[in-house]
Each structure stands twice: as structure tokens, then as C-alpha cells.
Structure 1
Amino acid sequence: MPLPKQKVKQGECPYCKGKGYHQPLLGGTETCYQCAGSGSDKTEKTG
């Protein structure tokens, strides 16, 4: 059964959905490696 698609707001990190962390299957929490915990999308161009 496929996972339901979740929408990501503009400017949010698509990996952690703007939280800055994720929860591994083994438990606990880890800082998101993509946004380094900021929750914002670093690939978005600023300026």
C-alpha cells in the first residue's frame, strides 16, 4: 500500500516538512540532514 502524498508548504524543507528534525524507525529524533535543523528549504533561491 503506497504512502499518502503530503503537501509541503513553500519554503519548507521537503524532507522534514519544516520541523527541522525527523523520527527514525528505531526511535528518538535526529536533526534533518537536508536543512540542518532550520526547517527551511535550502534549495530555494533567495535574492
Structure 2
Amino acid sequence: MPIMISQAVTGGVAACLVVLMALGPTSLRGNRSGGSGFGGGD
């Protein structure tokens, strides 16, 4: 069970990174980043 949870979390993080990269650096520094620079707003 913990292994499956681990895979789910890793997959979620990977998907998040892909989306962030697709949005581009302007979006990374924009609305959702909350000032932390990389994914701070979530």
C-alpha cells in the first residue's frame, strides 16, 4: 500500500512539473506561484 501511495504522489508531482513547464516561466512567476517562484500558490 505505501508503495502505491508513493507512486501516486510521484506521478502527481511529475504531472504538476510538466504543466508548470508547459505554462512557461512567465506563468511560473505569475498568478499561482504566490511569490515563492516555483509552485508556491498551490
Structure-1-length-normalised TM-score: 0.23
> By percentage of residues, which structure has more helix?
2
| Higher RCO (CA-CA < 8 Å; seq separation 6+) | 1
Structure-2-length-normalised TM-score: 0.24
> By percentage of residues, which structure has more strand?
1
